Chains A and B, each alone.
Chain A
Amino acid sequence: MTTLISDTEHQDRTVHRVLLGKKQVLVTEDEPLLPQLERSGILVEYQCREGYCSACTIKLLWGKVDYPIEPLAWVNSGYVLACCAIVKSDIEIALL
């Protein structure tokens, strides 16, 4: 469940759950999905890391993401560009 937590600087930060198979990762809205997955040890394919190569495309089974800047790559519905998507709710994803 999406939760509000207060961090040490007394800022409220929204935290969402990302489900991937049997794994669960907590992410914030402060940065895109890709670096947060990487930090939790999940390898996602990438190349440009700025939204134009489409290498980081992963399946979005359910949930909401948002792009602060519209990426150049084509994104089909049901997919998400991990390098530039901000997670906006709990989501479930699948790799290739």
Chain B
Amino acid sequence: MSYSTFNRKKFDSLQEPMFFGENVNVARYDQQKHPIFEKLIEKQLSFFWRPEEVDLSNDRKDFLKLEEHEQHIFLSNLKYQTLLDSVQGRSPNVALLPIVSLPELETWIETWSFSETIHSRSYTHIIRNIVNDPTKVFDDIIVNEEIAKRAVSVSKYYDDLIELVNLYNTLGLGTHHVPERGEVVVTMKTLKKALYLTVASVNVLEAIRFYVSFACSFAFAERTLMEGNAKIIKLIARDEALHLNGTQHMMNLMMSGRDDPEMAVIAQECQQDVINIFVEAAQQERDWAQYLFKDGSMIGLNAQILGQYVEYITNVRMQAIGLEPQFPTKNNPIPWINAWLVSDNVQVAPQEAEISSYLVGQIDNDLDGADFDDFDL
């Protein structure tokens, strides 16, 4: 079968599975097989924000005052996040749109991926504001070995799925000879397995891979340093929690067999692979913490505490999709991070309230206490 941008067949999309059914034709949302994806679209739209709303002029001054090893921590995290959002800004579209079969899920994928492009744009905004030559920072992402290792892990399942789907769409099911790859078996089973592992790997990306970086950003902000950056990270974290919700729903729906009975069998067969994907990612994140702190720690954080946090959060994420926690860490070693991650802006200080779900003007960092004298709280 080959992909059609407007499938001319008449069929009931409420009877289609999430993936590998009919190509979507009419983008309609009056009826939904899985209403959760429509709700996620609405929520994501209500979260819309623009990086330029956050003023970073104080961050520039702060950055110059940081010690060299702290600058290393800060810039390395930005580079890693840039990698992750580069992948996420395109891959859900490229890998999943050709095989999705529900209009609400198709639009969720596009909305999700679009929000990742805002994250990427925010890194340019941050880097442009704190260093004189952004090129140096961006160019290092491709050559930095620590980042390259992670690039392989976050893209390989996507790439496998894309390759299989390309073969399926051009040559159909069967065993195909691919130059430099040999025989590739394309069956519904191998396609669905590649899909399941891709969703599992993206779930882990959204669930775990940002959190070392988030913790460092908030640890700087706890010392009232790089606070504009922390505001941006808060907005990104809020989006990522929603993306995670989306992948958790896909995983849980697949595992339950409620969407596609064959997917439940595949999920069962792949359970150990999924556990391994979690454990491998946790290990990589712990290694990343070691790399960040190789020349020195920062106040309130070190590689060991961050490693425990990675294990803890991995346990939490595994439980959310019905898997047994794999690490002994039962408590959050940095509970203060949750107050930063919380997205509710009603409960925070008036200055913070300017980060909101709707468009606001540029946030002015130079307001001092006197500016709030007129406020009745």
Question: Which A residues are closer than 8 A to B by beta carbons?
Answer: 43, 45-50, 52-55, 57, 72-74, 76, 79, 95-96
Give Cα distance in the complex from A49 to B344, angstroms. 7
* Closest CB in chain B relative to A43 CB, distance in Å: 6
Kindly identify, within residues 319 to 352 of chain B, every residue whose CB is under 8 Å from any CB belonging to chain A.
Answer: 319-320, 322, 325, 330-332, 335, 338, 341-344
Inter-chain residue pair count (beta carbon < 8 A): 65
Instruction: Give how many B residues have a beta carbon under 8 Å from the other chain's beta carbons.
Output: 29
A-B contact pairs, 6 of them (CB 8 A): A43-B331, A48-B344, A49-B343, A74-B245, A79-B319, A96-B330
Q: Are A52's CB and B342's CB within 8 A?
A: no
A43: B residues at CB distance < 8 A: 331-332, 335
**Is B242 interfacial (CB-CB < 8 Å)?**
yes
Within 8 A of A (CB), among B235-266: 237-238, 241-242, 244-245, 248-249, 252
The reply to whether A45 and B245 form a contact with Cβ atoms under 8 Å apart is no
The answer, yes or no, to whether B315 is at the interface (CB within 8 Å) is yes
- Whether A96 contacts B241 by the Cβ 8 Å rule is no
Among A49, A50, A53, contact of B244 (Cβ-Cβ < 8 Å): A53
Contact A45 B332 (CB under 8 A): yes
B316 beta carbon closer than 8 Å to chain A: yes
Given A72-B36, A72-B39, the answer on whether A45 and B316 have CB atoms closer than 8 Å is yes
Q: How far is the CA of A43 from the CA of B335 in the complex (A)?
A: 8
List residues of B (284-340) whose CB comes within 8 Å of A's CBs: 312, 315-316, 319-320, 322, 325, 330-332, 335, 338
Contacts of A45 in B (CB 8 A): 316, 332, 338
Across the interface, which residues of B come within 8 angstroms of A76, CB to CB? 252, 322
Output the nearest chain A residue to B237 by Cβ-Cβ distance.
Answer: A47
> Chain A contacts of B237 at CB under 8 A?
47
The answer to the question of B40 belonging to the interface, with a C-beta cut-off of 8 Å to chain A, is yes
Choose from A47, A57, A73 the contact partner of B319 (Cβ within 8 Å).
A57
A62 to B228, CA, bound (A): 45
Chain A contact residues: helix, strand, loop or mixed? loop
- B94 → chain A, closest Cβ, in Å? 26
What residues of chain B lie closer than 8 Å to A73, measured between beta carbons?
Answer: 245, 248, 320
Give the docked Cα–Cα distance between A49 and B348 (Å): 13
Which single member of A53, A72, A79 contacts B40 (CB below 8 Å)?
A: A72
Asked if B241 contacts A53 (CB within 8 A), the reply is yes
0 or 1 for each of B18-57: is its CB under 8 Å from A? (1 = yes): 0000000000000000001001100100000000000000
Q: Are A74 and B320 in contact (CB under 8 A)?
A: yes
User: Is there an interface contact between A74 and B248, defined as CB atoms closer than 8 Å?
Assistant: yes
